[in-house]
Amino acid sequence: MVRPKTEEEIALMRENGILVSKTLAEVGKIVAPGVSTLELNRVAETFIRDHGAIPSFLGYEGFPYALCISVNDVVVHGFPSDYILKEGDIVSVDCGTLYKGYNGDSAYTFPVGEVDAETRKLLDVTKESLYRGIEKAVAGNRTGDIGHAVQTYAESFGFSVVRELEGHGIGKDMHEGPGVPNYGRRGFGARLADGMVICIEPMINAGQRNVYLAKDGWAVRTSDHSRSAHFELTVVVRKGQAELLSTFDFIEKNVEF
């Protein structure tokens, strides 16, 4: 049984949500051709620590960086590196914070310079599929309602949904129950209750849905080397409409694409 959060806990998680959202916006400001992904990691870690928090990914199950940075055909969990971003790349930046005993989590896939029309479509559809899922994050629904909304929208554009990875509950631990798949059947899965806090995070591929684990044991890549996009927000399940704890507003009001 997944325990809903108290309003006091949600207030602390809201602080994390705002911080992680602002961190992604700081990273987004420097996403450009010629910038290394290690530099993105440095900016994020500095910003998080300057605000009195800890980058919760760093050391999590041995993960060695503050950000997961996944370029082009890397779906999630990519390592920051000396790789220099190039015009036309896409880069998923997944960020977590630990502040006042609770976690925040959010991800955004940035275009690097100008991207082609199909890549832009992939980004737009993936982000919209997230919002379609969030619409179903209301008390009384089930996780399958969220997954069905994400899946049907993404697949209607010819894209595919990664099935080996999913969203999750969040709180004092980065990953709590319930699991939140990005595919499924309406009316199936864990029942959603008022006050549950979950991360919804569609991972959508331009090509086939199949993925594999890279040799580093972390990065997940598309098997056909097609591009993959990833967007994530933390939400509170409510009775009428889900409440966002993280937001893309700081990115989209301050970063030019």
Q: CATH no. for residue 207?
A: 3.90.230.10
Q: Please give the tally of structural domains in the chain.
A: 1
Predicted confidence (pLDDT) per residue in 22-64, tens digit: 999 999 999 999 999 999 999 999 999 999 999 999 999 999 9
> Do 146 and 169 contact (CB within 8 A), yes or no?
no
Residue 254: per-residue pLDDT: 77
Q: State both tokens at 45.
A: 């870690």
- Is residue 173 one of the residues assigned to a domain? yes
Strands (E), 62-133: 67-71, 74-76, 90-99, 102-111
- Is residue 64 one of the residues assigned to a domain? yes
- Is residue 224 one of the residues assigned to a domain? yes
Three-state SS at 44: helix
> Do 13 and 170 contact (CB within 8 A), yes or no?
yes
Residues 209-231, mean pLDDT to the nearest whole number: 97
Q: Determine the angle formed by the axes of helices 37-50 and 7-30, rounding to 10 degrees.
A: 140
Share of the chain above pLDDT 90, in %: 97
Q: State both tokens at 50.
A: 């300057």
Residue 35: per-residue pLDDT: 98
pTM equals 0.97
- Is residue 1 one of the residues assigned to a domain? no
pLDDT at 175 over 80: yes
Residue 256: per-residue pLDDT: 72
Measure the CA–CA gap between 213 and 223, rounded to whole angstroms. Answer: 9
Mean pLDDT computed over every residue of the chain: 97
- Is residue 97 one of the residues assigned to a domain? yes
- Is residue 2 one of the residues assigned to a domain? no
Residue 222: per-residue pLDDT: 98
Q: Which residues contact 99 (CB under 8 A, 6 or more apart)?
A: 12, 15, 16, 19, 51, 52, 53, 54
Say which residue the tokens 């990914």 belong to.
Answer: 57
Predicted confidence (pLDDT) per residue in 130-172, tens digit: 999 999 999 999 999 999 999 999 999 999 999 999 999 999 9
Residues 123-130, mean pLDDT to the nearest whole number: 98
Residues 185-211, mean pLDDT to the nearest whole number: 97
Residue 173: per-residue pLDDT: 95
pLDDT at 227 over 80: yes
Residues 183-191, mean pLDDT to the nearest whole number: 96
Q: Determine the angle formed by the axes of helices 143-155 and 117-135, rounding to 10 degrees.
A: 160
Residue 257: per-residue pLDDT: 66
Name the residue range of residue 65's domain: 7-254
Measure the CA–CA gap between 229 and 125, rounded to whole angstroms. Answer: 9
Residue 255: per-residue pLDDT: 73
- Is residue 89 one of the residues assigned to a domain? yes
- Is residue 93 one of the residues assigned to a domain? yes
